[in-house]
């Protein structure tokens, strides 16, 4: 059956390029393929009904029906990933005036170029240097000091250039960064916690990904990513170092839940140790 479209408006490639940027086209390409996959799955389901009991036995049984659906969905996705039925191509061409296959090649090249540039900067999506350093209310801090081991200080010295760069980039006192590193890992770039936090500043995988860190065991990436996250906490809590450290250790959701430093011994001891190292380094 032919479908007739009234009031049809023709969009030229130039007009489409003005209306749709690359990211919008990428989303349209994905949606077009998803739509084609659904139609393909419906066709496969219709075909499987012509067989006795479906593809995996009794179609009225839970097991057979479930496996049929899983198989049909997987096959439909695979068909759409390849040449497909041409439906996705027609939709994409109709909206943008471009060939879907040619756009996908172009988009893949763009993504490859972005990833290459990201590799050159060690994977860190650095923000512009802060115009003003984050101000810390030092009057509210404890005067208690903790002396780090000589070995941890030697290890820390190895990363002084990265720490200086992170401090300048994100507007944080370098001694705060050093104190966090001493507390988190004692300067061990290969450290892994029971919670699977990794590296010098003990980044969990989700935080590392959010900060643009591709390899948490790479000292520069870890320091830049950890400092970026700490800077976000400091700005969120208006320079309150205790609250920011509590958020870094226990998560901002716990700070909000308890309307202040959470009543966790681990978090309280963590804050005390970071501040103790900070006081020691500021002697």
11 phi, psi to nearest 5 deg: -105, 125
Task: Yes or no: say if 208 and 168 are a contact pair by the CB < 8 Å rule.
Answer: no
Quote the CA–CA distance of 255 and 242 in Å, as a whole number: 10
* pLDDT score at 26: 78
Among 106-110, 114-118, 135-139, 194-198, which range has the highest average pLDDT? Answer: 194-198
Quote the CA–CA distance of 258 and 72 in Å, as a whole number: 49
* pLDDT score at 92: 77
The predicted-structure confidence for 219-256, as pLDDT tens digits, reads as follows 999 999 999 999 999 999 999 999 999 999 999 999 99
**The dihedral of CA 165, 166, 169, 172: what is its sign?**
negative
The predicted-structure confidence for 173-201, as pLDDT tens digits, reads as follows 999 999 999 999 999 999 999 989 999 99
The domains located in the chain, with CATH, are 13-120 (no CATH), 138-281 (1.10.530.10)
The predicted-structure confidence for 122-163, as pLDDT tens digits, reads as follows 455 444 454 367 887 666 677 788 899 999 999 999 999 999
Quote the CA–CA distance of 164 and 223 in Å, as a whole number: 10
Radius of gyration of the chain (CA): 27
* pLDDT score at 213: 94
pLDDT at 75 over 70: no
3-state secondary structure of 198: strand
Quote the CA–CA distance of 30 and 52 in Å, as a whole number: 35
Per DSSP, 192 falls in state B
- The confidence band for 3, taking pLDDT boundaries of 50, 70 and 90, is very low
- The confidence band for 269, taking pLDDT boundaries of 50, 70 and 90, is very high
Question: What mean pLDDT is reported for the chain?
Answer: 77
Among 15-24, 48-57, 114-123, 231-240, which range has the highest average pLDDT? Answer: 231-240
Question: Helix, strand, coil proportions of the chain in percent (round to 5)?
Answer: 65, 0, 35
Active site residues: 184
Least confident of 49-58, 83-92, 114-123, 203-212: 114-123
* pLDDT score at 35: 75
Quote the CA–CA distance of 249 and 271 in Å, as a whole number: 9
Q: Residue 236, Cβ neighbours under 10 Å: how many?
A: 15
Task: Yes or no: say if 186 and 149 are a contact pair by the CB < 8 Å rule.
Answer: yes
- The confidence band for 216, taking pLDDT boundaries of 50, 70 and 90, is very high
Output the CA–CA distances (angstroms, integers) from residue 40 to 37, 75, 83, 104, 136, in the order listed: 5, 9, 12, 21, 60
Residue 192, Ramachandran bin (φ over 0: left; ψ between -120 and 50: alpha; else beta): beta
* pLDDT score at 142: 74
In the chain, the largest separation of any two C-alpha atoms, in whole Å, equals 84
> Which residue shows structure tokens 């002396």?
147
């Amino acid at each position: 059956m032919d479908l007739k479209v009234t009031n049809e408006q023709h969009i030229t490639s130039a007009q489409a390029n003005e209306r749709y940027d690359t990211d919008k086209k990428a989303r349209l390409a994905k949606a077009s393929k998803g739509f084609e996959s659904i139609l393909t799955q419906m066709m496969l389901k219709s075909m499987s009904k012509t067989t006795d009991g479906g593809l995996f036995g009794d179609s009225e049984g839970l097991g057979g029906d479930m496996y049929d659906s899983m198989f049909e969905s997987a096959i439909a996705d695979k068909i759409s990933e390849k040449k497909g039925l041409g439906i996705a191509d027609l939709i994409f061409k109709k909206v943008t005036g471009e060939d879907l296959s040619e756009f996908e090649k172009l988009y893949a090249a763009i993504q490859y170029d972005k990833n290459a540039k990201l590799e050159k900067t060690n994977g860190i999506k650095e923000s512009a240097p802060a115009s003003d350093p984050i101000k810390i209310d030092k009057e509210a801090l404890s005067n208690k000091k903790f002396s780090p081991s000589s070995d941890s200080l030697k290890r820390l010295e190895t990363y002084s250039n990265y720490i200086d760069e992170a401090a300048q980039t994100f507007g944080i006192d370098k001694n705060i960064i050093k104190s966090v590193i001493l507390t988190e890992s004692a300067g061990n770039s290969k450290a892994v916690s029971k919670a699977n936090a990794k590296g010098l500043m003990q980044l969990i995988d989700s935080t590392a990904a959010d900060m643009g860190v591709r390899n948490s065991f790479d000292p520069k990436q870890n320091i830049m990513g950890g400092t970026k996250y700490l800077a976000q906490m400091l700005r969120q809590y208006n320079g309150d170092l205790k609250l920011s450290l509590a958020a870094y250790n226990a998560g901002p959701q716990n700070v909000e839940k308890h309307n202040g430093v959470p009543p966790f011994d681990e978090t309280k001891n963590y804050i005390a140790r970071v501040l103790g190292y900070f006081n020691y380094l500021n002697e």
